Structure 1
Amino acid sequence: MGVNSITLVGRAGRDPEVRYFESGSVVANLTLAVNRRSRDDEPDWFNLEIWGKQAQVAADYVRKGALVGIIGSFKLDRWTDRASGEERTKPVIRVDRLELLGSKRDAEGGGGMGGGFGGGSPSEEEVPF
């Protein structure tokens, strides 16, 4: 049995890039900066891929600097570079669950929407992190 589960809390590094497909599918891609324990260390950066309804939530409410939590799995995107013909890879976190963790004050200041999907502040029981 294998386990591939990642839980992260951090800030969006940019607004989501959203693509809509003729099939009706939607995908949002963005980066997430996760701080280390020491303030002297640089944050770790992760590429996120979000599909479906969660992608639409990201498109509507996540902005650069927004505090979000995610649960997902690691995958390695592979492709052939058109210019060089070389094999390329990029680590990506495929998001299964997106939580909007910013406060209302953050949302008013452009830092994201507060309180998860339903608005308002989440209780400790609602935040899985």
Structure 2
Amino acid sequence: MLNRIILIGRLTRDPELRYSPAGVAVTSFTLAVDRNNTNKEVDFIPVVTFKQTAEAVANYLRKGRLTAVEGRIQTRNYENNEGRRIYVTEVVADNVRFLEKSEASSQHSEKNNNEQYSGDGKAIDISDDDLPF
């Protein structure tokens, strides 16, 4: 049997970091994932991360950031304060990839690139023989 999922989407809000009674970091967030490219249908998928992954997510991801999540689907249930049984389906992520640079790091990179390539503005003469394609 196999229970693996890979999603790419954008965070709908900033991740929420909390700690379990045993001191384990837990982060939850929702990922907005397009169903397909032709229609504008979107699914909002709840995601949970634990330990170091949870802390990294809380420190570096923000609302709107493009993110890839790899993990498994998990269902759980509990009884709320009114005595009703509540069922929850969520993705437990064991791998999260940040697909966009944060604004701070991209501004830093842009500044370094501008300094590195600043010159007199003259065109570079490159022959077709020098190109690898």
TM-score of the alignment, normalized to the shorter chain, above 0.5: yes
> Could you tell me how far 1:82 is from its partner in structure 2?
1.3
- How many residues get paired? 106
Larger Rg: 2
**Per-residue CA shift, 1:74-118, capped at 9, x if unaligned?**
0112001211x121101110001011001x3xx217xxx78xxxx
Residues 1:49 and 2:48 are matched in the alignment: yes
Give the equivalent residue in structure 1 for 2:85: 87
As a proportion of its length, which structure holds more helix? Answer: 2
Change (3 A) 1:87 1:22: closer
Give the equivalent residue in structure 2 for 1:108: 103
| Structure 2 Cα separation of the partners of residues 79 and 31 of structure 1 | 20
**Per-residue CA shift, 1:35-69, capped at 9, x if unaligned?**
12235332111000000100001000010001110
Gap regions ≥5 residues in structure 1: 115-129
RMSD between aligned residues: 1.8
**Runs of 4+ more than 6 Å apart:** none
| Structure 2 Cα separation of the partners of residues 80 and 20 of structure 1 | 21
| Structure 2 Cα separation of the partners of residues 18 and 64 of structure 1 | 14
Give the equivalent residue in structure 2 for 1:98: 96
Give the equivalent residue in structure 1 for 2:37: 38
Residues 8-47 of structure 1 mapped to structure 2, 5 A cutoff: 8-47=7-46
TM-score scaled by structure 2? 0.73
> Could you tell me how far 1:32 is from its partner in structure 2?
0.1
TM-score scaled by structure 1? 0.75
**Per-residue CA shift, 1:11-37, capped at 9, x if unaligned?**
011100110235331000000001122
